[in-house]
Structures are given as C-alpha cells and as structure tokens.
Amino acid sequence: MATPTTSRMSEIRSAALELFAQFGYAATTMADIGAAVGIRGPSLYKHVASKQDVLAEIMVGTIDALQAANRSAVATTTDPTERLRRAVEAHVRFHARNRLEAFVGNREIRSLVEPHRTAVLARRAEYEQSFRTLIAEGVTAARFHVVSPRLASYAILDLGMGVSAWFSEDGELTENEVAWQYTEFALRLVGAI
C-alpha cells in the first residue's frame, strides 16, 4: 500500500505531466500544479522542492522505465535479430503507452537546468548506445548490413518516438499491429530481412 506521501507525489507528478504537455513547462506555475491536486501553491513546497525537480523526476523516471523495458526485452536471447526485434517492440510499445511522457521528454529537454540536464542526456545517450550496440553486434555476426550502426540506431529510435505523436487506442491500428509493423521496418532498415 502506498504511503500518503507516495500517493500525493504520484498525484503531483501526474498533474504536472498533464500541465506540461498541455501548456508547456515555462507557462505552468507551481500554483497551477497545486490547484490541479487541490493544494495551494505555497503548500506544494512541502511535497516538492521546485517545479524543476518535478520536471526532472518526470524525465528521469521516464527514461529509466524505458531502459528497464529495453533490458527486460532483450535479456532472454542472444540472437541479434531477435534482440533487435524485441528492443524495437519494447520501444514502440512504451511510446504508444506513454505518449505524454514522450511528448514532455522531447519538448522540455530544453527546460532542464544543471545537473538535471546532464543526467537526462546521459541516460538518453546510454539508451541510444544500447540500440547501436545491438546493431553493431548484428553487423559483426553478418546478420545486419548497415554502414553506420549509429545512424541506423537514430533512425529506429526516431521511428518509435514518432508513435507517441499519432497513436491512439481507438485508431485504425492496434498497438500490436503498430509494434509488429515497426519491428519489420527496423529489421528491413538494418538489412536483416
């Protein structure tokens, strides 16, 4: 069972995420966040140190969850093609299910200040490196055929991140269909199929 503090922090995070997505970080005030959770702006400081800390927590939490999904997806196989397939599927599903987090994470990176900006950028670089490593391993095993694993990793990551901009549960395609198609696109991109 969550403690009142944990529950309240979750409410604050959710409210801030929605406000940042709708109005942007700069236009959202602590009073706006407080009002969204039924707390007067000044009282919000009993729960969070600053609006910047809320943004950083959202962004760090998001990238950490994305990395965990990736690690879990590729952990049970050594086959390069299957590892990339699973990584792409996890990437696409995460972005389909966490559209607000992806939107805020991409748009508000500019709003982070140090040391938060460096921490988030380092995690993003580590995540991108995990895809580049998968692709390079596939090239080494003569399973993938790309000149630049770095460029291929950027292309695959961009494909998946784009899902957060247009995917809808009640849209033309299901999450499963989108994940399957995107994994096929990625495997074609690296020359695996």
Q: Concatenate the DSSP letters of all residues of 162-173 into one string.
A: HHHHH--TTSSS
pLDDT band at 5 (very low <50, low <70, confident <90, very high): low
**Domain count of the fold of the chain:** 2
Same-domain pairing of 35 and 2: yes
- Which CATH number fits the domain that encloses residue 171? 1.10.357.10
pLDDT band at 3 (very low <50, low <70, confident <90, very high): low
Q: Give the domain range for residue 42.
A: 1-48
pLDDT band at 101 (very low <50, low <70, confident <90, very high): very high
How high is the pLDDT of residue 52? 96
How high is the pLDDT of residue 2? 46
The whole-number average pLDDT for the span 178-193 is 96
| Residue with token string 């943004």 | 55
Write out the two tokens for 144. Answer: 């993938």
For residue 189, with 0-12 CB atoms within 10 Å meaning exposed, 13-18 middle and 19 or more buried, which class applies?
Answer: buried
pTM of the model: 0.90
Q: Concatenate the DSSP letters of all residues of 38-62 into one string.
A: T--HHHHTTT-S-HHHHHHHHHHHH
Same-domain pairing of 93 and 185: yes
Same-domain pairing of 104 and 35: no
Same-domain pairing of 121 and 101: yes
Percent of the chain residues topping a pLDDT of 70: 97
Same-domain pairing of 95 and 160: yes
